[in-house]
Structure 1
Amino acid sequence: MITQPSLYSRVAVSLLALALSGFVNLAGRAQDIAGGASVFLASAEVEAKLGKGIFTPAPNRAHAPKHFEKKTVARSVRAAHPQRPTTTTTTAGNTQTTNNGGDSGSRPLESTRPLGGPARRVMVAEDYNKQGDAFFDAGQYDKAVESYQQALRLQANYPEAYVNLGETYFNLGRYDEAITVEKQAIQLKPDLVAAYRALGHAYLKLDRSAEAIDALKRALNLVANDSEARTALSLAYYDQGVAAYNAGKYDDAVAAYQQAVSLKPDYADAQNNLGDAYRRLNKFAEAAEAYKQAVRLKPDSVDAYSDLSQTYDKLGKYPEAAEAYKQVIRLKPDDAEANNNMGYALGKTKRWPEAIVAFQRAIQLKPDYAEAYSNLGWAYNNIGNFNAALEPLKKSIQLKPDLPEGHFNIGVTSFHLLKKEEALAAFQKTIELKPDWPAAQNNLGVAYGNLGKWKQAIAAHKEAVKLKPDYGGAYYNLGVDYLRIGDKKAAAEQYQKLRTLNPNNANVLYTLIYNKPAPANKP
């Protein structure tokens, strides 16, 4: 989910091949991936003309607990109040109703008749329970409490009345009292599903997810297809996942969110959070699957599509990332970051004209978007339009002087425009801002070499291979540097290191050192 522009921008970095000029009798040069004759200029991740973009992962934003959304519940045990059969007799003009059975030991109805008056019915526990039901259904919860309490005074072993009283307490926000009476119901009737369900609801309201899970699991053990209990249990696991995630316990969060979605497969928010937890564990393939479920269930979720697109970025699935960003933009067309990020993904798939349009749109939406200006320059560099690249790149560092990628790309552009001093200054600034960037150290060495400053070039290329020991392009350049100062032995040492890293470039360097082709048995 993109929430802060600086955290979600992709700043694309040109890794266009730079040629060391001024070589005498050193015409052979390494081939870049694009096939041009030049020296490798490779990033810490890839050696390619396409370039390197900074991928800033999404921040570890906190997950929010859902809590139990129900403010009120419907009564669970209406069916627990059966009508008792009665008989009516008429004697000497007087009508008398008699109870022929009881409910849970309810006291039988009595008939009293004041002298000279009609018979008067006496209410028993069941009647008060039914009266409570009527008050409950009318939303008169205080009166319902009085009726249920009266039922329990008349009949203490009445579990259904305890359940109803607990649910009334729930609707009044008296969750601790609800827990107490639901436990009493369970004590009286251990197989009463409604009591376990109501107990779980009350625990959820108090954020006591572990106890809620226990109660709701017991309900499902009794009635496996109780949809209300399943939904509540899914929520309980969701909140457990939230707590684990926010505590940095991502494995526990995954386990809890998996339980939530197994109980409620259409739980889009749980799927999205599951993706977040996987992503924190660097399990990007699993994260992508979870996010795909989230967008399937909730196709209008900007957050889910944003998370999915960033995960595709991490997997290097740039066509899929571009399509996901298109969905973000469909839902939120004025999202500058999404337009910029889509441009980055399009660039990584070499769809440069589309990338340029996306970067321009990002700048239109956010005129002070330094990263988008840098990316626009990166795109122009990759289509060979270096004059067009220079203006947005200068704008990027004007807006954000400490943006290393902007300075790096200016160095690339300046090199191709044969502005050697400007290229050197740009790479020096890049290193000042980001000294641990292998590609920038390599380019700095190239810039020094272009000005004939070979000792400085050697120092920069040594730093590049120190930062990235498998950096074939930098080893090649270092070998060339040593040749330029007449140190053939040191150049040969670079050849030996390069043999396993890049046999083709090793052959070229061998020819430069010995003025003859590499032997057939040499790589």
Structure 2
Amino acid sequence: MKTRQFLLSLSVAALLLALFQPVSCAMIYRSYRDKLQKDYRMASELYRKNRLLESLEYYEAVADVDPDYGGAGARVEDLKHRLNYMRESYYNTALNQQRSGQALNALMSYRRCVNLSPNGAHRDAKSKISELLDHPQVKAALKGYLDRAAAYRKAGNYQQARSQYEAALLIDPGLSEAKSGLSDVDDHLLASARPRYEEGQRLFQAGNYAAAVQKYQQAITIFPDYTEASDALDRARALARNDQNYQLALAAANSGNPPGCLSYVSRISGYHPQAGALKNRCTEDLKSNVDRYFQQAVSLYQQQKLEESRALFRWILVVRPDHEEAAKYVELVEKKIETLRQIEE
């Protein structure tokens, strides 16, 4: 819903801009295109994660503007059909479980049904859930989780206590004792995880990204919902990969392998203080010896080392876009690779 409202606001804003100041159609088109691309990527990512209801919202936002964009309109219909089928399946399963005396299983099936429903409503699933929360079987299960959580807390095993509280909240998200217990346990876990996070921060500031990654991972192992540590871990991993790729690029350059050097440099994401100079060094080396590397690529091709030869021909074209023979060989290699792929299939 929020995404649709955004698109409506965007449309109104575009109209007002067009009326009151000179805005080109191209600018308006680009704003729509960028929004469509972003929403479509998000829809696809959510779909891959099996978060179907959220995925549907983004596909609908795209389809409202352009139903043919990436087949968004067809995907919307397919998702609606699939979600409805799943809701009905969970609902009918819950009915059968309830009739056979499986109160806890029935409640969880109704919850799955509701979780796949817009606005959290499907038939009388909500009222069925309320009814089942008073069932002795469900109450006994909740008491078991709470008792085990209390025992784990007493023993100082806060991670196990957390899992018990979370299990209880899956049954009854509004259970106050489980919510307060989980909050208290999280405070203990966060206090235990924070020193690892802070050590990771010190290592990160010192440029020791690989060691920082380990500390952040330790913090997250203790407290999985540690958002700051998770964000820091992503940043540290990216910079650690950059450092690793730089070292590999440097080793390739020092061993007389400028194509290998450039390949590793191309994997560096964002800014790296030494990468630019190393890239220039390897580019100049490749330019100065392009004939030698061309013959090396041809030799690889003749040895049927197709992937290696293609990579080298492509690097030659990066530094010498006018190298016609290298361009022809790229076409030959790609045709041969495609032919071999078809034969294997």
TM-score interval, normalised by the smaller of the two chains: under 0.3
TM (normalized to structure 1)? 0.21
- Structure of greater relative contact order (alpha carbons < 8 Å, 6+ residues apart): 1
TM (normalized to structure 2)? 0.28
